[in-house]
């Protein structure tokens, strides 16, 4: 039996392949330090885990959950946005629960894109934006986000034909992989651009509460007029150290939220209610523990930056997210450079080319590893360089 043609657009996921190679190296006795995948190594706050444990023992929570999220979870998302960003969301029509934001990113493209439509995608950027558009049969037009423009897209440089045919414009700030941040002014310009060209902004924002040096990340939905043209995706994965729990949300444009909900009712059966109950506790409970967690990430960031400096490598100093974006000092392609680091010194980082053509010449370091191991990894890299 032959696969559908759309499967020609799908390649094995990079981190799946990388994980297999790392398992082989470990089986050979090699000590591998993983600085590649963006998975938090720290646990959620104890009160979140306690809520899950208590809820999972309730006899009436083991059946199917309400599709699109329980009313309590949607309400908690609305409360979080009100408290954190002063953004008012109707939990019934402007919020939908997701099984982690990744599936929501993919499903929105399925709901909106036809062949000959265009999706505007940042380069470098999270691979799902482009892969989902291609799977839907649409054309991907990349928006370079370059270091000389503070890793922001040049909206004026988007070709006129792409502006005319584009339905979706994907962005992600605080940014993965570069760690770049934005202010309200850029978001206001973006919203004006989207209204002018009738393009939906899809803002992937799971890192808004991982910030350093006093920076406070804004929500796109804070901008007047944004909710009429935008969907913002968020997740408890990074903010609350709940990556494996698979709990997220999409918020904003009512028609898009309705479309996502309709599609998801045909695809999945929502999330375990006990996990959603823990999500309610996370979103509405004490938020002050972020400060200690962010201090840990900031300390790791500084270890990385100091180690890179000693190795003669140049890196962007991020004020948010959990990554450091590093410029490669040679003409060697990034995938060959990072493969050599893995094979020769047992340090796994992510090649910039994984994130797009404009990521070539860089590699990404994740901060989701304890400080002593990061310190050892940086010493290995410096000696290897």
* Domains (range + CATH), the chain: 5-43+289-384 (3.90.1150.10), 47-284 (3.40.640.10)
What's the distance, CA 89 to chain centroid?
22
Residue 26 CA: distances (Å) to CA of 36, 309, 343, 375, 377: 16, 29, 11, 20, 16
What's the distance, CA 385 to chain centroid?
30
Question: How far, in Å, CA of 128 to CA of 36, rounded?
Answer: 17
Residue 99 CA: distances (Å) to CA of 136, 183, 270, 317: 20, 29, 7, 32
**Pairing status of strand 33-34 against strand 347-348:** parallel
pLDDT, residue 10, reads 82
pLDDT, residue 381, reads 96
Question: How far, in Å, CA of 270 to CA of 249, rounded?
Answer: 12
Question: How far, in Å, CA of 183 to CA of 173, rounded?
Answer: 10
pLDDT by position in tens, the chain (length 385):
999 988 888 887 888 889 899 999 999 999 999 999 999 999 999 999 999 999 999 999 999 999 999 999 999 999 999 999 999 999 999 999 999 999 999 999 999 999 999 999 999 999 999 999 999 999 999 999 999 999 999 999 999 999 999 999 999 999 999 999 998 899 999 999 999 999 999 999 999 999 999 999 999 999 999 999 999 999 999 999 999 999 999 999 999 999 999 999 999 999 999 999 999 999 999 999 999 999 999 999 999 999 999 999 999 899 999 999 999 988 999 999 999 999 999 999 999 999 999 999 999 999 999 999 999 999 999 999 9
What angle separates helix 101-112 from helix 127-135, to the nearest 10 degrees? 40
Comparing CA positions, the residue from 32, 41, 124 lying closest to residue 341 is: 32
Is-contact 52 274, C-beta < 8 A?
yes
pLDDT, residue 11, reads 81
pLDDT, residue 147, reads 94
pLDDT, residue 184, reads 83
Comparing CA positions, the residue from 286, 283, 105, 117 lying closest to residue 199 is: 117
Question: How far, in Å, CA of 335 to CA of 350, rounded?
Answer: 8
Is-contact 61 259, C-beta < 8 A?
no
Residue 309 CA: distances (Å) to CA of 321, 364, 381: 20, 15, 11
Residue 232, φ and ψ in degrees, nearest 5: -110, 125
What angle separates helix 101-112 from helix 254-265, to the nearest 10 degrees? 100
pLDDT, residue 120, reads 98
Question: How far, in Å, CA of 196 to CA of 337, rounded?
Answer: 43
The encoded tokens of residue 123 equal 């380069």
Placement of tokens 């310190």 in the chain = 375
Question: How far, in Å, CA of 308 to CA of 323, rounded?
Answer: 13
């Amino acid at each position: 039996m032959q696969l559908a043609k759309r499967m020609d657009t799908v390649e094995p996921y990079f981190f799946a392949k990388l994980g297999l190679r790392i398992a082989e190296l470990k089986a050979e006795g090699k000590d591998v330090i993983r600085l590649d995948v963006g998975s938090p190594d720290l646990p959620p706050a104890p009160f979140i885990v306690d809520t899950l444990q208590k809820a999972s023992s309730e006899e009436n929570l083991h059946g199917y959950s309400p599709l699109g999220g329980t009313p309590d979870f949607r309400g908690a998302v609305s409360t979080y946005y009100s408290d954190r960003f002063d953004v008012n969301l109707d939990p019934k029509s402007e919020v939908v629960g997701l099984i982690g934001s990744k599936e929501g990113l993919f499903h929105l493209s399925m709901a909106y894109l036809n062949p000959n439509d265009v999706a505007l995608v940042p380069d470098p950027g999270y691979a799902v934006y482009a892969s989902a558009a291609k799977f839907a049969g649409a054309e991907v037009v990349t928006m370079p986000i370059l270091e000389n423009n503070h890793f922001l897209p040049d909206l004026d440089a988007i070709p006129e034909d792409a502006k005319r045919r584009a339905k979706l414009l994907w962005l992600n700030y605080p940014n993965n992989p570069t760690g770049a941040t934005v202010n309200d002014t850029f978001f206001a310009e973006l919203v004006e651009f989207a209204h002018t060209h009738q393009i939906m902004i899809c803002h992937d924002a799971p890192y808004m509460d991982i910030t350093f040096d006093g920076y406070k990340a804004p929500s796109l939905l804070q901008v007047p007029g944004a909710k009429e043209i935008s969907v913002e995706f968020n997740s408890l994965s990074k903010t609350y150290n709940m990556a494996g729990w698979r709990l997220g949300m999409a918020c904003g444009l009512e028609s898009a939220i309705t479309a996502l909900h309709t599609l998801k009712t045909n695809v999945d059966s929502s999330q375990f209610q006990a996990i959603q109950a823990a999500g309610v506790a996370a979103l509405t409970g004490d938020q002050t523990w972020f400060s200690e967690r962010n201090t840990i990430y900031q300390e790791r960031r500084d270890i990385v930056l100091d180690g890179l400096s000693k190795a003669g490598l140049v890196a962007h100093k991020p004020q948010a997210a959990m990554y450091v974006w590093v410029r490669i000092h040679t003409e060697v392609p990034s995938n060959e450079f990072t493969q050599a680091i893995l094979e020769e010194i047992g340090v796994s980082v992510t090649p910039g080319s994984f994130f797009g053509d404009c990521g070539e010449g860089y590699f990404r370091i994740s901060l989701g590893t304890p400080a002593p191991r990061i310190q050892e990894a940086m010493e290995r890299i410096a000696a290897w360089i």
